[in-house]
């Protein structure tokens, strides 16, 4: 995702670094005051078992949860935000909070096309109606890069057993990996994609056998100019190497390690590599690949490299259902345990959610990662994001988003590459389902109704309060709730002394309980999910107060809210937002909000 440099503003975030596995309250707790922050020590692991229930049962707004199936179905045809082609042929979404599955919906077709026409049209050639297969809630999807999470979990199991050291060179376990300047690349660097390896190479077409392809992956040199640990490049090659490392350390195939270490203990019976022909009727087809001699890929892994490596590789190859992935998500929210079966220690899960790439953020703004997991990615996590929000996406159109602060998650599985990857990404749908679940979590105003900036992309919305008279030695106070995409979306408080012709930001004193901090008029990022009591000293002659919300073109948090606006000076009230002055507020892109 390309961002204009001019849009960057300072994020209100706590930089967390760690080099050892355990993350304890003593080493990771947020300071008692200062900008809001969250660290893995703030996570409260539960021990929930998934069951079906209602949105109201877990405090969610039913009307927002009920939007998920309609939003899923809306992308079965071209839309203004995804023109030209549908976002996918079929999809399944599952959303849960506090262990309660509040939505599990399927739309569209698991199998619809036989082929695709040539570019530029890329017209889908449909199968006869009686050969098409509708998507079901238990449809099995090719997870693509979501497979990397299974490799990660198995790696962390070996770390727990003392067989793998995160900060040891990969070459300690796979000696030939040292070739090409990689002698100092560590296991942690592979998990955080900071090794310096290039993103990809076409192993499937450049080498004739699986053995030669694995050897070539391990021998791939660092990218030109790369220094291990100093850059962020998302690399399939790093996870292929990690899969080989696991097999060398344990003496067992990766698929067996995943089965015995993850899917078996968790009861994920529809999850694994190379699904047998007996499951084919439940599997979603992916892409027409005549260039690889494959035709329409259906029942085999879509990723060409994983396919050429026998269907089992560290970066891709796992198939699963939404219900099985829900179990995986819940096990992580439980601290590595589900139904009494533990696959990771709770301190290991916490360690996996530290942002090890924080020192790289200024150069690589999208680099936030724990061990294996992406962190705080608003471009698909939306309002479920936080410094601890974690998940992963897959090229075929799959994703999981987990919010440990609200004990919630959403799984989206689709076959967006069916019939052709050229039909575009399904990021718009990823954002829609994450937004729907996030919007279902109410922000309760302290009064009858707060003001909320309308959730729009590429917008600046303003809420203006004209004072009754120019201020003298005045102060203002208000409540502020904000949750925005760090750096790219912001909330701002400004004051005018010339009747609203010009505006200047004003220092805000923010307080919540014992926490106090100061902002220069602009806040961005994680707001702690609390109402901040804000006080401001107004300049003499102030005539207007203004709150603004600015957003970029993709990805939002849960928004910006303002409530209980009061301003006064030595001569009395200047503005009373809950009284007679409420009708004098000028809202441009703001609306009353009761939840």
Nearest Cα residue to 328 out of 422, 396, 391: 391
Question: What is the C-alpha to C-alpha distance for residues 102 and 93, in angstroms, rounded to an integer?
Answer: 11
Question: What is the C-alpha to C-alpha distance for residues 459 and 445, in angstroms, rounded to an integer?
Answer: 23
Residues in the chain: 595
Instruction: Kindly name the residue from 109, 145, 496, 549 that is annotated as catalytic.
Output: 145
Residues 386, 390, 393: CA angle, nearest 5 degrees: 125
Cite the DSSP H helix spans in 172-209.
Answer: 187-192, 203-206
- β-pair type (90-97, 460-466): unpaired
Question: What is the C-alpha to C-alpha distance for residues 434 and 432, in angstroms, rounded to an integer?
Answer: 6
Q: How many CB atoms lie within 10 A of CB 118?
A: 7
What b-and-e string marks burial along 22-61, b requiring 16 or more CB atoms within 10 Å of the CB?
Answer: ebeeeebebeeeebbbbbbbbbebeebebeeeebeebebb
Q: Is 512 helix (H, G, I), strand (E, B) or coil?
A: strand
- β-pair type (113-116, 124-126): antiparallel
Exposed, middle or buried: residue 112 (CB in 10 Å: 0-12, 13-18, 19+)? buried
Question: What is the C-alpha to C-alpha distance for residues 13 and 15, in angstroms, rounded to an integer?
Answer: 6
Three-state SS for 516-564 is EEEECCEECCCCCCCCEEEEEECCCCCCEEEEEEECCCCCCCCEEEEEE
Question: What is the C-alpha to C-alpha distance for residues 405 and 594, in angstroms, rounded to an integer?
Answer: 22
Question: What is the C-alpha to C-alpha distance for residues 147 and 60, in angstroms, rounded to an integer?
Answer: 30
Query: CA of 557: how far to CAs of 145, 271, 527, in Å?
Result: 25, 32, 10
Q: How many CB atoms lie within 10 A of CB 516?
A: 14
Beta bridge partners of 393: 399
Question: What is the C-alpha to C-alpha distance for residues 215 and 104, in angstroms, rounded to an integer?
Answer: 42
Helices (H), strands (E): how many in the chain?
Answer: 15, 29
Question: What is the C-alpha to C-alpha distance for residues 348 and 153, in angstroms, rounded to an integer?
Answer: 10
477 catalytically annotated: no
Which residues form the catalytic set? 145
């Amino acid at each position: 995702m390309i961002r204009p440099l001019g849009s960057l503003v300072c994020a209100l975030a706590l930089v967390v670094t760690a080099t050892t596995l355990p993350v304890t309250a003593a080493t990771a707790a947020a300071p008692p005051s200062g900008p809001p922050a969250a660290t893995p020590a703030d996570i409260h692991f539960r021990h929930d078992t998934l069951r079906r229930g209602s949105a109201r049962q877990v405090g969610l707004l039913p009307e927002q949860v009920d939007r998920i199936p309609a939003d899923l179905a809306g992308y079965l045809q071209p839309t203004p935000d995804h023109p030209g082609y549908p976002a996918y042929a079929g999809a399944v979404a599952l959303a849960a909070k506090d262990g309660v599955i509040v939505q599990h919906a399927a739309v569209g077709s698991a199998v619809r096309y036989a082929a695709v026409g040539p570019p530029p049209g890329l017209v889908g050639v449909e199968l006869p109606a009686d050969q098409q297969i509708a998507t079901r809630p238990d449809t099995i999807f090719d997870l693509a890069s979501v497979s990397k999470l299974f490799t990660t979990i198995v790696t962390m199991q070996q770390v727990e057993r003392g067989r793998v050291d995160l900060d040891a060179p990969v070459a300690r376990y796979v000696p030939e990996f040292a070739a090409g300047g990689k002698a100092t690349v560590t296991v942690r660097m592979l998990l955080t994609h900071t090794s310096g390896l290039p993103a990809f190479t076409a192993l499937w077409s450049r080498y004739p056998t699986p053995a030669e392809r694995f050897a070539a992956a391990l021998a791939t040199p660092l990218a030109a100019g790369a220094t291990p640990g100093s850059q962020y490049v998302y690399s399939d090659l790093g996870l292929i190497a990690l899969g080989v490392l696991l097999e060398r350390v344990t003496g067992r195939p990766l698929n067996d390690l995943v089965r015995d270490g993850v899917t078996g203990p968790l009861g994920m019976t529809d999850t694994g590599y190379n699904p047998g022909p007996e499951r084919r009727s439940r599997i979603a087809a992916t892409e027409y690949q005549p260039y690889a001699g494959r035709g329409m890929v259906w029942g085999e892994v879509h990723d060409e490299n994983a396919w050429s490596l026998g269907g089992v590789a560290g970066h891709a190859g796992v198939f699963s259902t939404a219900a099985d992935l829900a179990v995986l998500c819940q096990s992580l929210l439980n601290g590595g345990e589900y139904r009494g079966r533990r696959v990771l220690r709770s301190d290991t899960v916490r360690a996996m959610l530290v942002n090890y790439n924080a020192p790289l953020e200024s150069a690589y703004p999208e680099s936030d990662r724990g061990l294996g997991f992406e962190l705080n990615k608003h471009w698909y996590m939306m309002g479920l994001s936080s410094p601890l929000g974690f998940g992963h996406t897959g090229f075929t159109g799959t994703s999981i988003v987990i919010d440990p602060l609200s004990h919630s998650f959403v799984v989206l599985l689709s076959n967006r590459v069916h019939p052709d990857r050229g039909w575009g990404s399904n990021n718009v749908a990823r954002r829609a389902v994450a937004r729907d679940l996030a919007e279902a979590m109410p922000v309760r105003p302290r009064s009858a109704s707060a003001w909320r900036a309308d959730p729009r992309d590429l917008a600046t919305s303003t809420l203006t309060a004209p004072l009754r008279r120019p201020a003298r030695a005045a102060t203002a106070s208000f409540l502020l709730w904000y949750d925005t995409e760090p750096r790219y979306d912001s909330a701002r408080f400004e004051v005018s002394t010339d009747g609203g012709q010009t505006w200047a930001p004003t220092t805000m004193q923010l307080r919540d309980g014992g926490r106090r901090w100061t902002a220069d008029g602009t806040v961005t990022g994680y707001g702690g999910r609390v109402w901040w009591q804000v006080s401001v000293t107004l300049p003499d002659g102030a005539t207007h107060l203004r709150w603004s919300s600015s957003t970029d073109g993709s990805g939002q948090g849960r928004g910006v809210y303002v409530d209980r606006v009061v301003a006064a000076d030595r001569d009395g009230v200047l503005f009373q937002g809950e009284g007679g002055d409420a009708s004098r507020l000028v809202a441009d892109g703001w609306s009353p909000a009761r939840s």
